[in-house]
Structure 1
Amino acid sequence: MKADGFFTKHTNNPLLQFINAKGEKEKWYDFEGIIQEYATRGEQAVNLKMIDKLLPIIGKALDLDEESFKEIKGYKHLCGIVPEFDRVIEYATKNNYLDFAADYDIMEKCVYIKKARSQYSEEQRDLVKEAMRLLKDELVAFLKSAKINNEENSLAFMIFFSIMGIYDAGYKGLTMKLSDYSKKYQGSFPDFKIVSFNYTDTISNLVKFLQRIKFDSRIDLETDDLKENFYRIHGALDSEVIFGIDSECDIPNAFISLRKSNHISINAKQRFSDIIENSKRIIIFGHSIYGIDYEYYADFLEKNKDTEVVVIYHNEDGKKEFENEMENRGVMRSINYEYIVISDHFFEFCKNIAEEQQLFFEKEK
């Protein structure tokens, strides 16, 4: 984004400039967290919240409430946003509450303040909507042109196949087993669900990865064949991508459009909840659930004690961070951790899952 001058093109958009500034110092991949910080603690968010508090205070001051009149002086931070704020706050600083309530000119300015507040809120609302639209366009363009590092993803692919009931330590064996399995069961697989918070077609990428390996076995498997098993909760590149902030944080009304909950249907959240509540084992990887998306898991992690939860981690620092965040949120349930690295232990982990899935599938058949 920096390379193609994205932020330079949009210097007048405060949200984009906030992301640019924070991204220089912190983690770019957590841009949703940066957006949430802007919406809750950024300058524009603070101004909007202060304006909402100031209006009823001014109303009480006009009704001869001396304490409310004194409070007006504490809102000097708003000076410079619109001239009406400056004049009312300056008047309150230099005069007493009786003069304030009796001054017709001040009453007129207070009427303008309400209009100015609405205008400022609308401007900020439009700016965040514009920023999100531009970010989505950039994200879609980037992901469509991005190339998957199959070498790094091969271990993740092994987990995918193991929950489908298929395991082999080598690519050739995996390909042939998938082909044989598909023929034997006519495209049926054990009961599993893959819930993706990404926007890419994971199953299609997974199959293409194997199909690029030149073996005799042919794999006729597409995403549509597994559409009941695969669920992209945040949309897809060929439809609409959904990102934003969680629904619990305190934000001004002007920033409501930033909430994911405004773009995800109630049915989508319920479907996700049903999936995890009715699962015997949940494997989580590539997803820092203690961040913006924690609200999806909160009830399950805090109340469900029976389902096995496995978290795949890439390094010890990541594991420790996850453990600390769960502890901070009061999650006391048992969580198993698996290190995603080429090792006998990891292969055994995948093999055991595949065998359990096969046994369960055979019983169901």
Structure 2
Amino acid sequence: MPAHRDPRTSPLLAERPLNHGITRALDAAEIIDGFGTDVAATLDWAVAVGAARPAERPVVDDWSLLASVASVDVAAARILEPHLDALDILDQAHRLDVNVDVALESIGASANSTWGVFAAEAPGMRLDAHRAADGWRLSGTKPWCSLAGQLTHALVTAWVGDDRRLFAVALRPPEVVPHTGPWHARGLPQVVSAPVDFADAPAVPIGEAGWYLRRPGFAHGGIGVAACWWGGALPLRDALLEATRRPGADQLSRVHLARVDTALWNARLALKAAATIIDADPDPAMIAGRVRAIVSDAVETALTESARALGPLPLVADESHARRVADLQIYIRQHHGERDLARLGGSVSEGRGQW
């Protein structure tokens, strides 16, 4: 598979050159042996990237960083994104509560912590929070906890009665037991996403009940994931471009390229437009839903068209291409297809998100 554009010299979303922090992050990634496949090394890199981000920055810089990393390695972006999301959530909470940092020290959190965000729900699994004499405790099982066996800490949603509330927890005490599976994935095999059992585990509340979903920046995080999907698909376009330039290439190769090019170009416009309007929009969740749907469709188009145009050879003979396709096929499932569209359509039907 051909080497695609260098995101350090060809910014993916920003019109201006990438800031020095993003360039340094990509330079550091280049010298990591096993970047994206060596989880421990990639997590160490993610901690450094998170620490180097300026406190005040446009959201497009975060999305450009994620897209740029995904264009290099999809799994690395999948590892980086929740860590940065957790840091952003904690920063927002700190602005509301000056004691958040002190409370986090009680669970051993520090600048070197590696973070996940576990907010999924599943039938038959429930994580409850209750207040004990010495603070909050979590009991139950949380599904879909990515890398729980390798992270030090996580932000976890748990039920307090009929409401969900966000808590910070340490993942290495004996009261916390990450499952090792089931995880038979051919894509993102190193990013194990399995349940975690909590047995009266100490936890620190982050915000009030419901704050996690209402908080400023929730929509930013959802679009950040979409930026990863989009950046991860760009090398598929590059492979199609190269195919059109081979001797004997026919018009069909150009049709496949055009379909992918226009789909990804449209997704880029959606990401860029969202970056300029989301902070001023009264309903950012609608923007996030629309952008994720657009980007998801574009990535599905890139996967389908590249498979039809390139055939089986790169899937069996090109390790980088085969891994990228498999990783994207798993990662894009974070968009729930018709269910997400149904929610979006319901919101439009109720009069939300007027143009």
Fold match (TM-score > 0.5):
no
**Greater percentage in strand:** 2
TM-score, normalised on structure 2?
0.27
When Rg is computed on C-alpha atoms for both structures, the one with the higher figure is: 1
TM-score, normalised on structure 1?
0.26
